[in-house]
Amino acid sequence: MNGNELLASIRAVVGDDYVIAHREDLLVYEYDGSVDRSMPRAVVLPADTDQVSRVMALAYEAGVTVVGRGSGTGLSGGAITPPEGLQIAFPRMDRILDVDTVNRTALVEPGVINLDLDNHVRRFGMRYAPDPSSQRACSLGGNIAENAGGPHCLAYGATTNHVIGMEVVLEDGEIVHLGSMAREAAGYDLRGAFVGSEGTFGITTKILVRLLPLPETVRTFLGIFPDIDSACTAVSAVIGHGIVPAALEMIDALSIKAVQNVTDAGYPNDAGAVLLIELEGLNEEVDEVSGEVEAALWDTGAADVRVAEDDAERERLWVGRKTAFGAFGTIAPNYYLVDGVVPRTRLTQMLRKVTEVSERYGITIANVFHAGDGNLHPCMLFDAREPGVMESAMAAAAELMEECALLGGTLSGEHGIGLEKKEFMPLVYTDADMEAMQRVREAFAPKNRLNPGKIFPDGSYWRPSAHPAAYTAGMYI
Amino acid sequence: MVSAPDRHSDAGQHMGGGIDAGHGFPYGLPFEGSLNDGPGFAGSDAPAEADLYRCVHCGLCLSACPTYVETRLETESPRGRIALMKAVHEGRTGISDRLVSHWELCLQCRACEAVCPSGVPYGRLMEHTRAQVQDNGLQSPELGRLSRLFLKAALPHNRRLRLAGHLMRLYQRSGVQGLVRKSRLLGLMPGDLAAMEAQMPVMGRQFFEPGSQVFPARGEKQMTVGLLSGCVMPLMQGDAMRAAVRVLQRNGCDVAVPAGQGCCGALNLHAGDLELGRQLAKRNIDAFKQAGVDVVVTASAGCGSSMKEYGDLLRDDPEYAEAAHEFARNTRDITEFLAGLPLDPPSAQLPWRVTMQDPCHLAHAQRITEAPRQVLRSIPGLELVEMAESSLCCGSAGFYSLIQRDMSRRLQRRKIGNATATGAEVIASANPGCISQLEQGLQNAGAEAQVMHVVEILDAAYQAEG
């Protein structure tokens, strides 16, 4: 079967209108939120599981690779499709099929937007906890592929903790069920293996997620510190008290400046760092823990501790945090964000390394990150038009990755490995480790037809966009 | 080191069609050269490289975009449209009918701009792109026809507009319209003509006319404001214009509606006719300068948005750059102006249940959402209820409803559904296009509610004082 015959058979399955194959249209399916791009042969928009299965079977027979695409907001190149590969996207599979308020679950299709699900279940007094910064655009299918996180994953865990079961189509079109449609599953936890497999194991077509009751009270604190070291100590002190806040975010002096340039989020301009801490739970519980949190902040040298008085003030504090990366545009035209993790007791040490690397390479680095779970996002700010600066930024990023690994951390908190970081994998895994992973992948996708070329090193290093105009403005996320 | 996974090494041969030959791994640019032989961007009005590359395709705009929300297609998203502009800029494709179709489906509502964390000036990019499309004669035939008919031949010319308005009013009120609609005549007309008949705005009972007269302030005069009468609003919604005058008078303003002014040029600019847009801007700058007003107020959100951007539009014009900048700085939407005053609150009760529909060019382009609500909340007895998606475009978008009829209808139905779900008896708006679109949508849905401009509601409260 040649390419055109394959497309004709696929059109017969999904309908002519639901295959995008004109290259002028495909120009918009060659990117995601990362810096890579590659044009697929076609994009298929199936309506249901059966169509996904039949399309995958046809592609399998033709020996064509398949990549799933959610909303294309990923930051590691997960949805980038190899040339001649087929992309499957889910705009037509975006239904919330069922909300079970008694068992607190929702059955959804992969195209459902994260925030739409959360908003939908709020009317029943429930929530969907994982809240990546892209939550108003990203889809549940994509969240599963990347095991997406978010500020509130500190207390509630990342996507994997909220997925109970899945219907999945394998590379040859076979439909299997992973996990369970009940709360507990017998046998191997293949659901756990699948979440975060970055589209290399199969394509999800139905998802059963766990919902949580809305908290009775939410209280948000702003801890203001003279320097980043004392803020790091405060993070350890809060957690050391046995408190697990719903969110615990750090914003350094440079990021405060950037945020305040754009909007008044209520962060003091002269602070060395601020901590954004959110407690949730029953009224009594929150009252009790609030005292302990405040004490921990004062004890570790806070210059001031503020509590959001109302929803509007709380919102304002969060807007600052969530728009920080966009606000870096006021400091430098380009940025490159590194997603890395260290044990939270090593935060101070890691941030010192960041400062040292910043000085040695002469590159400004801002820090705004999920301090509670040690998930750093050092962000290099530069002007890519300066000769050699891109190379320096990439080299500095590599050093930071190495340091994360050295301190017992890992390469990615929530963005995935994809194309961006695959060459760094040997920093944290031995050959034997990675071979074990590949064997699991082989069990799911023996022909490796799903999202190939991602996650594992193969010598093709990540590189920035080839068009020089991209350097003149804008940012690398 | 693990050996590389057994990649799809045979995929290239299987997927024939001769596309992208020679490009296997690593991932990279899929082709060299242009996809078609269409023209590229050229000249000083081309979309600026610095604007284009502010977009880092993060995707946070997607859920704000009405056409993406409806279609969930990347081609119909702000990020996708910018990617197509970049592709033209980079010489990877020329402007083609296909690209134009994606650009023309854009409502230019600028909801994406308001949520963009990188500050991409999307409205400007789209206007400049449309200018390139128009310069190359590549507009869709529907848009081309309407541009010639309305944007060039009618809107800029007040006398012709008024004549057309009289004819339309005659057609609508004489009973001829009823006869035509009952007959099969419409079925014989070309598609877009019949649709235009169906979407013809209902002419107001009484037109509103600019002139040399100044409407005096009631009580102590605080300042002199100039009111934009513009093009079609005085014909379609003369009542709202008169309400605007009365409300301003009541709040201590001498109101001048100087003759010599005209269309603000917004629709020309949106369609990409930057040159005509600049001429119209200059005419208004001159007219209001002569009237000697402190501020220029408009009851049309779309006009206000364009007028506030006159400075940018004329920045390279040595004669007008400064005056345009000043004009822009002194322009206010009427709700913004009223909310900024110590507004004289009505003393009478107006026990209405009202929901606010945010016009795109007020909420997104001017970032004003609180002011109209503040004005409405100043009215005793009025209950303000929020609708879902209040700032998602209603599908009016200038002439969009005549050209992209299907998408316009879909958004209209969605908006009417959200508005009526609140149980409000009045839908408040602040833009003539939205008001017509909502009225027609209510009529199609057979719903009871009424559409009013925010100032008409405030005026009604003042009138109720007796």
Q: Which structure tokens are listed for B8?
A: 């799809």
Residues 356-395 (B) with a CB less than 8 A from some CB of A = none
Judge whether B188 is closer than 8 Å to chain A, CB to CB: no
Pick from A411, A399, A337: nearest CA to A374: A411
pLDDT at residue B143, rounded to an integer: 85
Distance from C-alpha of B104 to C-alpha of B461, rounded to nearest angstrom: 41
Pick the residue from chain B with its C-alpha nearest to A86.
B15
pLDDT at residue A180, rounded to an integer: 86
Judge whether A20 is closer than 8 Å to chain B, CB to CB: yes
Q: What is the dihedral of CA B181, B182, B186, B191, to 10 degrees?
A: 70
* Residue A264 backbone class (left: φ over 0; alpha: ψ -120 to 50; beta: rest): beta
Judge whether A141 is closer than 8 Å to chain B, CB to CB: no
Q: What does the buried/exposed string (b/e) look like for A352-373 if buried means 16 or more CB atoms within 10 Å of the residue's CB?
A: ebbeebbeebebebbbbbbbbb
Kindly give, in sequence order, each residue whose CB lies less than 8 Å from that of residue A375, ignoring residues fewer than 6 positions away: A149, A339, A340, A341, A369, A413, A414
Confidence band of A419 (pLDDT split at 50, 70, 90): confident
- State the DSSP H helix or E strand holding residue B14, giving kind and residue range, or none if neither: helix B11-14
- Helix, strand, or coil here: B276? helix
Pick from A155, A132, A152: nearest CA to A144: A132
Pick the residue from chain A with its C-alpha nearest to B97.
A24
Q: What does the buried/exposed string (b/e) look like for A390-408 if buried means 16 or more CB atoms within 10 Å of the residue's CB?
A: bebbbebbbbbbbbbbebe
pLDDT at residue B185, rounded to an integer: 63
- Of A65, A111, A475, nearest to B56 by CB-CB distance is A475
Calculate how close chain B gets to A380, using CA atoms only, in Å: 15
Pick the residue from chain B with its C-alpha nearest to A438.
B5
Distance from C-alpha of B317 to C-alpha of B325, rounded to nearest angstrom: 11
pLDDT at residue B195, rounded to an integer: 65
Residues 230-259 (A) with a CB less than 8 A from some CB of B = none
Calculate how close chain A gets to B173, using CA atoms only, in Å: 44
Q: Do B117 and A474 touch (CB under 8 A)?
A: no
Q: Which structure tokens are listed for B233?
A: 């609003």
Calculate how close chain B gets to A360, using CA atoms only, in Å: 28
Pick from A376, A460, A431, A452: nearest CA to A198: A452
Instruction: Please report the DSSP string for B308-370 in residue order.
Output: TTHHHHTTT-TTTHHHHHHHHHTEEEHHHHHHHS------S----EEEE---HHHHTSS---H
Residues 457-476 (A) with a CB less than 8 A from some CB of B = 457-460, 466-467, 469-470, 472-476
Instruction: Provide, rounded to the nearest whole percent, the portion of chain A with pLDDT above 90.
Output: 67
- Of B2, B55, B80, nearest to A434 by CB-CB distance is B2
Q: Do B5 and A136 touch (CB under 8 A)?
A: no
Q: Which structure tokens are listed for A290?
A: 């609030």
Cβ-based contacts of A138 with chain B (< 8 Å): 59
pLDDT at residue B167, rounded to an integer: 72
pLDDT at residue B197, rounded to an integer: 67
- What is the Cα gyration radius of chain A? 23
Kindly give, in sequence order, each residue whose CB lies less than 8 Å from that of residue B135, ignoring residues fewer than 6 positions away: B43, B45, B272
- More confident site: A413 or B101: B101
How far separated are the first and last CA of chain A, in Å rounded?
A: 40
Kindly report the pTM of this predicted structure: 0.88
Please provide the size of chain B in residues.
466
- Of B7, B26, B77, nearest to A448 by CB-CB distance is B7
Distance from C-alpha of A91 to C-alpha of B437, rounded to nearest angstrom: 28
Distance from C-alpha of A25 to C-alpha of B97, rounded to nearest angstrom: 11
Kindly give, in sequence order, each residue whose CB lies less than 8 Å from that of residue B465, ignoring residues fewer than 6 positions away: B346, B347, B348
pLDDT at residue A2, rounded to an integer: 77
Q: Do A91 and B71 touch (CB under 8 A)?
A: yes
Distance from C-alpha of A18 to C-alpha of A5, rounded to nearest angstrom: 16
- More confident site: A414 or B207: A414
Is the domain spanning A332-415 CATH 3.40.50.720? The answer is no
pLDDT at residue B13, rounded to an integer: 27
Q: Do A83 and B16 touch (CB under 8 A)?
A: no
Pick the residue from chain B with its C-alpha nearest to A85.
B11
Q: Which backbone phi and psi does B370 adopt, to 5 degrees?
A: -80, -40
pLDDT at residue A330 greater than cutoff 90: no
Low pLDDT (below 50) residues in chain B: 1-31
- Helix, strand, or coil here: A359? helix
User: Where in chain A do CATH 3.30.70.2740 domains reside?
Assistant: 332-415
Q: Which backbone phi and psi does A280 adopt, to 5 degrees?
A: -140, 150
Distance from C-alpha of B108 to C-alpha of A233, rounded to nearest angstrom: 49
- More confident site: A267 or B267: A267
Judge whether B190 is closer than 8 Å to chain A, CB to CB: no
Judge whether A185 is closer than 8 Å to chain B, CB to CB: no
Pick from B11, B16, B19: nearest CA to A3: B16
Q: Do A453 and B7 touch (CB under 8 A)?
A: yes
User: Where in chain A do CATH 3.30.70.2190 domains reside?
Assistant: 217-323
Give the model confidence (pLDDT) of A444-476 as tens digits. 999 999 999 899 998 765 454 444 434 333 334
Calculate how close chain A gets to B13, using CA atoms only, in Å: 8
Instruction: Report the relative pairing of strands A105-108 and A96-100 from DSSP bridges.
Output: antiparallel
Residues 65-84 (B) with a CB less than 8 A from some CB of A = 71-75, 77, 79-80, 83-84
Q: Give whole-number Cα distances, B203 to A90, B271, B432, in Å.
A: 45, 24, 12
Q: Do B49 and A469 touch (CB under 8 A)?
A: yes
pLDDT at residue B186, rounded to an integer: 61
Judge whether A16 is closer than 8 Å to chain B, CB to CB: no
Cβ-based contacts of A326 with chain B (< 8 Å): 116-119
pLDDT at residue B22, rounded to an integer: 28
Give the model confidence (pLDDT) of A385-404 as tens digits. 788 887 888 889 889 999 99
Q: Do B27 and A27 touch (CB under 8 A)?
A: no
Residues 68-87 (A) with a CB less than 8 A from some CB of B = 71-73, 77, 80, 82-85
Q: Do A32 and B59 touch (CB under 8 A)?
A: yes
CATH fold, domain A217-323, is Alpha-Beta Plaits (3.30.70)
Judge whether A331 is closer than 8 Å to chain B, CB to CB: no
Judge whether A62 is closer than 8 Å to chain B, CB to CB: yes
pLDDT at residue B12, rounded to an integer: 30
- Of A20, A91, A327, nearest to B72 by CB-CB distance is A91
Calculate how close chain A gets to B30, using CA atoms only, in Å: 6
